[in-house]
């Protein structure tokens, strides 16, 4: 007969360090700001006089200088990035048209000023297409140019 043998398995001591399983965390992409509204503002520039809210009187040379600014607003406040598409148009008496383009979500017209000599009501319309084209908002502001009133 064959003698019975007993076998004992003893685990050999570990010769490697434990391996850490890499953790993967996925963070959400930053939210793209959504432009909810646009505010347009005007202010006096070099020529003329401010005579009331959005009312400008020409100098004795018959000209008034005006600039405009816009502010793109989101749920978190004003958006100060250059990731928008902005088109502003100023229209006024006598077929006056001025166009301006910018990437600044909030900013000012690129020209130094609008030098206006025809009295009447002017309208600034600014359309802001938000970052990645996901939102669009339009703001308008009217202002008025008055002739020089000095005798």
* CA within 13 Å, CB half, 12: 3
Edge-to-edge strands, sheet with 55-57 = 49-52, 55-57, 136-146, 120-129, 85-92, 96-102
Average pLDDT over residues 17-28: 54
Reported as a single tens digit per residue, the pLDDT across 61-88 is 899 999 999 999 999 999 999 999 999 9
Check whether 29 has a pLDDT greater than 70. no
Q: What's the pLDDT score for residue 134?
A: 86
Evaluate whether 111 touches 88 at the Cβ level (below 8 Å). no
Q: What's the pLDDT score for residue 108?
A: 94
Evaluate whether 146 touches 55 at the Cβ level (below 8 Å). yes
Q: What's the pLDDT score for residue 11?
A: 45
Query: pTM higher than 0.85 for the full model?
Result: no
Check whether 25 has a pLDDT greater than 60. no
Phi, psi (deg, nearest 5) at residue 117: -120, -10
Give residues with Cβ within 8 angstroms of 144, minimum separation 6: 54, 55, 56, 119, 120, 121, 122
C-alpha to C-alpha distance for 91 and 140, rounded to whole angstroms: 11
What is the percentage of the chain residues whose pLDDT exceeds 90?
65
Positive or negative: CA dihedral 71, 39, 92, 116: negative
Q: What's the pLDDT score for residue 23?
A: 53
Reported as a single tens digit per residue, the pLDDT across 96-144 is 999 999 999 999 998 888 999 999 999 999 999 999 888 999 999 999 9
């Amino acid at each position: 007969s064959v003698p019975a043998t007993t076998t004992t398995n003893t685990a050999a001591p570990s010769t490697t360090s434990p391996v850490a399983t890499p953790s993967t965390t996925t963070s959400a992409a930053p939210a793209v700001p959504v432009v909810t509204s646009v505010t347009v503002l005007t202010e006096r520039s070099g020529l003329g006089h401010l005579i009331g809210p959005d009312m400008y009187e020409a100098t004795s040379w018959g000209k008034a200088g005006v600039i405009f600014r816009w502010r793109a607003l989101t749920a978190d406040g004003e958006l100060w990035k250059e990731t928008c598409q902005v088109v502003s148009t100023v229209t006024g008496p006598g077929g006056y048209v001025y166009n301006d383009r910018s990437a600044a979500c909030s900013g000012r017209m690129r020209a130094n000023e609008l030098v206006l000599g025809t009295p009447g009501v002017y309208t600034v319309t600014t359309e802001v297409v938000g970052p990645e084209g996901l939102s669009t908002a339009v703001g308008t502001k009217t202002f008025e140019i008055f002739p020089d009133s000095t005798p």
